[in-house]
A and B are shown apart, each in its own frame.
Chain A
Amino acid sequence: MTGGRRVTDILVGVLTMLLGFALILFPKHGLSIVAGILSMTMIVYGVRMLIYYCSMARHMVGGRTMLYIAVIVLDLGVFAWTLTDIPKIYIVLYLAVVHAFSGVIDIMRGLEAKKYKAPSWRLSALSGAVNLTVAILCIVFLGSTDMIVYIYSAGLIYSAVTRIITAFRKTAIVYIQ
């Protein structure tokens, strides 16, 4: 990883963490901010897909599909951004599905590691259990806007911490002449 990339990752990590804490401190406005983030994510994804098409996928057999996807996602993102009120249920479902999926993968990973008697299985299984619990909490606290914002914020902070840790990881490989 280059020095510039490390600095960028640390900065993005710190900003994401600050956003997570801000949402926890001001949960009343949290839901609209979360909805805004989700729409913005789609817009950014659409733009990235367009860049991807121009720099990579146009050389690929069937690559024009990427162009169509980029345009559709970008359009959806812009449309969602213009809406003032996204139904809360969509946000809850989004969070529940993301955490449930991560939870299942972590538990499968833990079971496989256990099969090979690797000590890491406990950490994977624990991470899976936490993710599944969060997914269940999303559904249980469907009526509580604050709780949904807390759960989303916790996800943001977790992602920020892993990004910062990754930025500090050693990546150099030894080559002997």
Chain B
Amino acid sequence: MNKDFHYYATYCAAYLAGYSHEESLAICYSAQFVDWCTVTYLSTLKAPRSAATTQLQLEMMDVKMNAVGLQDITRIWASFHFLPYDLYAQKPHCSKRYLNKYRLICKPNGDLLVDTVKLAKDKSLQAVGVAMHVLADTWAHSNFAGTPSLVINNTDHYFYELIPDGDGFRERPIKFSHNPGAGDDIEKGVYVNTLYRTEENTIMNLGHGRAGHLPDYSFIRYKYLPAWGDYEEVVKDNPSDYYHAFCQMVCAMRYLRGELPEFEKDTYDTEKTAPWEKEIKAIITKRQPDSCGDWRALGEKLSGRAIEDFDLDKYRDEYLAADKDGKDDTFLGRFILAALSQKSMVTGKIFRSGNKLAGYSVDMKKGFRGIRDYRKLIKETKGAQKDDRR
């Protein structure tokens, strides 16, 4: 998904869920910031690098594709952009090595989604934003895994766009090019994707790179053969998925606000969105690479307030100016804690399923071990536990 959904649509969902204009802005800023919080950016703030929620293309090219490099990539992409659906999935006659990758395939409504939303309960607005990014991406990025893998993420020439035509759809073959400078040509059906590489662990085979930006466009419907799918055709209906994502975000945020007692899988708030359904569906199905303008107009109509554009450096000075003890109370400080918490939770679940692709996870009952950055998270959690006891 792109800024149109992670920023403007998330604002709309947050407002419909009952958050104020200011709270909705903080939530959608955090949701969008997940796509910008790189190690490179964090290093300019002298902030904990373990809180990175994404990677620049060249950062990924820099990573050595050994076990450690692979874990670094998987921790980030599986935790924030390709949340695994079923960590214990089975497929007959497969090696453990294959299953470890297969089990990281992202789909909506997995157990980890519930864990993600519940992790943000009673936490900061930044934590809500992080959770909404993860939730939304489970819809857009379904059928791909957040780890480099040819056998899971590859696609082949069998790729067709389904264009609405009367009561049905007509098929048009999708052509892929590998020149990022050329950009996507929606009218001609030519899209940029990553190069076909035969190495299992190259970054070219990370996530939906081999399908280009198709999963990120809300209007498109297509059918293809996922590498893991045993030659069974998959039809991806983005307009339907994006609408489900929107309604599920409203539902999740109503739970996080305390309006709903529980967050369960496969529940969508169609009631709150009903008055706006027609407008939302019109935005989602409009053939355009960027829907920011339309979502922004809808958001401003909902709240009657102007929505500022996303500014990466909006909270930078606040973080830099804060003293050492005060950094955690800044906007970015709270985002960093939320990111560390999400990454810890997902890595822990993957590790406990017997899969070491995202790295190692240690229990803290016997004292601190591991990466220094996480001391911050321990401190925060212990503080929260003390408050609960009071």
A and B form one complex: yes
- B58 near A61: Cβ-Cβ < 8 Å: no
Instruction: Check if B225 is an interface residue, CB within 8 A of chain A.
Output: yes
Contacting pair B359 A171 (CB below 8 A): yes
Say whether, besides A59-B98, A61-B231, A170-B371, A1 and B225 are in contact (CB < 8 Å). no
**One of A23-31, A114-122, A144-152 contacting the partner:** A114-122
B151 near A171: Cβ-Cβ < 8 Å: no
- The reply to whether B154 and A116 contact each other, CB–CB distance below 8 Å, is no
Closest chain B residue to A163, Cβ basis? B66
- Residues in A lying within 8 Å of B, measured CB to CB: 1, 5, 9, 49, 52, 55-57, 59-63, 65-66, 69, 105, 108-109, 112-113, 116-120, 124, 162-163, 166, 169-177
Closest CB in chain B relative to A90 CB, distance in Å = 22
Q: Given A60-B151, A113-B40, do A66 and B198 touch, yes or no (CB 8 Å)? A: yes
Whether, in the assembled complex, B331 has its beta carbon less than 8 Å from a beta carbon of chain A, the answer is: no
Q: How many residues of B contact A (CB 8 A)?
A: 57
Collect the chain A residues with CB atoms within 8 Å of residue B71's CB.
171
CB–CB B61/A59 < 8 A: no
* Minimal beta-carbon separation of B203 from chain A (angstroms): 12
A55 pairs with B95, CB closer than 8 A: yes
The answer to whether A174 and B151 have CB atoms under 8 Å apart is no
Residues of A within 8 A of B56 (CB): 112
Contact in complex: A109, B75 (CB < 8 Å): no
Q: What residues of chain A lie closer than 8 Å to B344, measured between beta carbons? A: 173-176
Partner among A52, A65, A176 whose Cβ is within 8 Å of the Cβ of B377: A176
Q: Across the interface, do A61 and B154 meet the contact criterion of CB distance under 8 Å?
A: yes
Q: Does B351 contact A (CB under 8 A)?
A: yes
The reply on B298 being an interface residue by CB < 8 A is no
Give 8 CB contacts A-B under 8 Å: A1-B67, A9-B66, A112-B40, A112-B58, A172-B361, A173-B359, A174-B368, A174-B370
Chain B residues positioned under 8 Å from A124 (CB to CB): 62
In the complex the two chains form, what is the Cα distance from A171 to B360 in whole Å? 7
Q: Is B362 an interface residue (CB 8 A)?
A: yes
Shortest B73–chain A CB gap in Å is 13
Whether B151 and A173, one on each chain, are in contact in the complex, defined by CB atoms closer than 8 angstroms, is no
A6 smallest CB distance to B (angstroms): 10
Chain A residues in 8 Å Cβ range of B378: 174, 176
Is A56 within 8 A of B40, CB to CB? Answer: no
